[in-house]
Structure formats: structure tokens, C-alpha cells
Amino acid sequence: MKICDQFTKEHLKDSPDSRSVFDFPLLVSNDKKLNKNMAEPGFWNNRETALKIINEHKQIQARINPIQEVENKLENVEIAVELLSNDPDEELERECSVNLTWVSGKLDRLDFMQMLSGPNDRNDAILTIRSGAGGQDSQDWAEMLMKMYIYWAEKQEFNVDILSMSEGGVEGGIREAILSIKGPWAYGYLSAEGGIHRLVRKSPFDQNHRRHTSFASIFPLPDLDDTIEIELNDDEIRVDTFRASGAGGQHVNKTDSAVRMTHIPTGIAVTCQNQRSQFRNREVARRILRARLYELEQEKRREEKAEIEKTKKDVSWGNQIRSYVMHPYKMVKDHRTGMETSNIDNILSGEIQEFIEEYLRKNGQ
């Protein structure tokens, strides 16, 4: 009971501080107003306004819900402490300890989230994974990274969807994959992962099992909705349709459902063929194109501030942000922060949150 009692006194005292950082009462008041607006009969009469309200509501909910969850847990802990003071119970003590551990982790996460204050940090993310130098090994490495980010997203309770995927050679792997990752602060977290990732291992594709070095690139972008002011005029877009390739059965092979969308002024082109209908492929391609145009504008601003700051380096030796070594020893090292671990299996299973948070802390995000 001493552990529960001490933690409760300290954190109940600190809990209002956590609320004030977010201006909690104002958030709750704004949330009620938005709920009232969304319940009105003519809410969808103005689609642009409706989308802005929905987006604002999502962002407020992402900030309010964790705080309310913490307060509910602490209320349960308070009740448990009172019961334990009158009638000690080992099972209730264990339950209290579990709740306190959960609350402590949640408060740490809320504190960390204060660093994710960029204009699009709370957005969903579009993550592009591309194989680089290294041939078949590189394509296999790109697929391993794709799975790693899917595992990570699932651990964060985010929703993941493969928007587009270009398969590798006859021995598997991928040339490129584009993932949609939806969840609070998804882009803020994944902004730490942009760059070149290097793998060193004995190649499973080399008959002599020699050591190979492979590279793959990660490009995170914010998934922008229609409230973001990115000009995307239909008369500046060329849409080409063709038959999709790869798995998918007769529908894929006999229908011109795949879409290539090209932004004529910039020459940026995106392709989507993973959805079952041409309409859905057009919709997904447009989302990806908007994100690419946003990144282009951001890159122009960065170049104006710092002459030339390239964010997309050659996918080859010397440009890596993180190395994953499987032979002759096991190690994962982030070259930007110096953080490293020998538990590469856990990392490839999605346990990368510590690497993400370490980078964001050191860069003052």
C-alpha cells in the first residue's frame, strides 16, 4: 500500500499540471462546440467547412482522450488506496501497482508529446520505402523494413494500409512500398525515420553466404486532407489507366483499374494499382500526389533558409542514418544519436519507439 499511496499523492498533485499544458478546459469547451456543430442537420452542406471541423475534432480528441484515461485510472487508484488503508488485500495491491505503472507510462508519453509541435505532427502519415544499392538483397531489406514499420504501427495501435507496392525480383522482396499509417502523431513520430537504412548480413541469396551490405530509403510525409491549401487543379493533372500486374486474380488482369497520375507543372507522377477499382486507385493516387506536392513546397522553403539541404540522398554507402548489423556481430546503431542495441530481432519486430523518441528529444522536436 505504501507504493500506491506515495505514487497517488505525487501524481494526483501533478495531474492538473498535465492538463494545463494542453489548456484542458479550453480543449473540452471547444470539443463540445464541435460536437454540437457536427450534430446539426446541414453539417455537410459545405464540405470544406465540414472537413475542417472534423479534422479539428480529431486533433482535440487525440489530446483529450489520454488525459481523461489517466484521470479515470487515478480515480480508481484513489478508491483502491482507501480500501487498502482499511483492509489490506494482496490482489488489490497488485492491481493498484499495475494501474500506477500504466499511469506513469502514459504521463511520460504526454510529456513527450509536447515536443511534437510541428504544424503536421498530429497528422496521419504516408510512408514510402524504396530499395537502393544492393540488388536482390536490397529488395529483401526493403521488405523487412516495411514489415518492421507495420509491426511498429500496430504496437502503437495505429491503422496501417498498403497503398501501393512494387514487387522485387523472382526471389521476392520489394522495389517500393507506400504505406498509409493512421493514428495520433503518426507523422510526428515517423519524421524521425526519414533517411537511408543500412543492413549488413550474410546474404541468403549468395551461394557462398558472403557478407553483403544493402540499403533502403525511408520517406515519411504527412497525409494531408482537403483542409490543407495545396493547389491540385484537375486541368494540371494527367491520368493514365492501365491493367494492374501482380497478384489479384482475373479482376486485376482483365480490367484497366491501375492509375498513373502526373502533375504536369512539376512532373511528379504517382502510380496506384493495389485497390480493386479504378475509382479507389484514383482516390489513393490523388492523396499520395498531394503529399508529394506538399513535400516539394517544404523542400523549397528549406533550401531558401539553408541554401541547399537535401532530404533525399543517394541510397548508398555513407548516407545512412541507421545501421543494422547481423554479421559478424549483432547491433543496431543510429548514427545521429549514437543510440545502439544488440537486440536486432526486437528492432525488426517493430520495437523502434526508443530510437524514435531519442532522436526527437535530441533534435528538440
Alpha helices, DSSP H only, in the chain? 2-21, 24-38, 47-86, 90-113, 135-155, 186-190, 249-254, 278-306, 344-348, 353-362
Confidence of residue 253 (pLDDT cuts 50, 70, 90): very low
**Residue among 298, 183, 163 nearest 230 (CA):** 298
Domain with CATH 3.30.160.20 in the chain: 234-306
Q: What is the pLDDT of residues 54-70, one digit of tens each?
A: 878 877 887 788 888 88
pLDDT tens track for 172-201:
899 999 999 998 889 999 999 999 999 999
Q: Which fold has domain 125-218+321-362?
A: Alpha-Beta Plaits (3.30.70)
pLDDT of residue 229: 61
Query: 76: which residues sit within 8 A by CB, 6+ positions away?
Result: 99
Residues of the chain with CATH 1.20.58.410: 2-113
Q: Write down the CATH number for the domain with range 234-306.
A: 3.30.160.20
Compute the mean pLDDT over every residue in the chain, rounded to the nearest whole number. 81
| pLDDT range class, residue 283, cuts 50, 70, 90 | confident
User: What cell was used for 244?
Assistant: 494492374
Q: Could you report the per-residue pLDDT of 137-153, keeping only the tens digit for each? A: 999 999 999 999 999 99
Residue 81 has pLDDT above 60, yes or no: yes
Residues 6+ away with beta carbon under 8 Å from 343? 330, 332, 351
Other beta carbons within 10 angstroms of residue 99's beta carbon come to 19
Q: b/e string for 237-246 if b means 16 or more Cβ within 10 A? A: eeeeeeebee
Q: Which residue has the higher pLDDT, 83 or 313?
A: 83
Which of 72-76, 262-266, 274-278, 360-364 is most confident?
A: 262-266
The domain 2-113: what is its CATH number? 1.20.58.410
Q: What is the structure's pLDDT at 13? A: 45
